[in-house]
Structure 1
Amino acid sequence: MSRPKEYELTFPHPGQDDPDRVVVHRTGSSGPGGSEVYTDESGIVRAEISDEGEVRMIQTGGRQTTIRPSRARPLG
């Protein structure tokens, strides 16, 4: 099965009509659950995305709070 090269993650933004969107790219590494890890250009947003499109956010800093995206859309 071919894995998407990137995903657009959509995060709810309380108090605003438009959600936040972040594009993450495949890293070639696996996360704690064994699925592919994706990251944004800054390396701050990291997500493990399963073949079924389930997303597990991965903390990149000690004080970072992760929020699960409301949608993960494959881009290519």
Structure 2
Amino acid sequence: MNPANRYALTFPGTPGTQAPQDVVVVARTDAKGPGGHPVYEDDTGIVRAEISDAGEVRMLASGGQQSPHMPVHAHPLP
């Protein structure tokens, strides 16, 4: 199965508020993550994730002080 070129990652809103969920679109890069799967990132390069063929997501820190949150859902885009 070929991995998608883009995914929409949905993150939970701020806990304890009525804030909507955040959706970030990430595109495939030439890099491979620690699990050997493709790395995807948003246009800013701040949101980075390794996504397997099965849709499993591993968030990757893009800076030294970052503690990335796990998305609720990763949806492949056409």
Whether these two folds match at TM > 0.5 is yes
CA RMSD of aligned residues (A): 1.0
- After TM superposition, the score normalised by the length of structure 1 is 0.94
Greater than 4 Å deviation, 4+ residue runs: none
Task: Kindly provide the CA deviation profile for residues 22-42 of structure 1, in whole angstroms up to 9, marking residues without a partner as x.
Answer: 000000211001001000000
Structure 2 distance, partners of 1:67, 1:16, is: 18
Partner of 1:11: 11
Aligned sequence identity (%)? 55
Equivalent residues in 2 for 1:1-76 (5 A)?
Answer: 1-13=1-13, 14=15, 15-76=17-78
The one-letter amino acid of 2:38's match is E
Moved more, 12-21 or 41-50: 12-21
- After TM superposition, the score normalised by the length of structure 2 is 0.92
Asked if the contact 2:39/2:48 (under 8 Å) is kept, the reply is yes
Structure 1 gaps, min length 5? none
Structure 2 gaps, min length 5? none
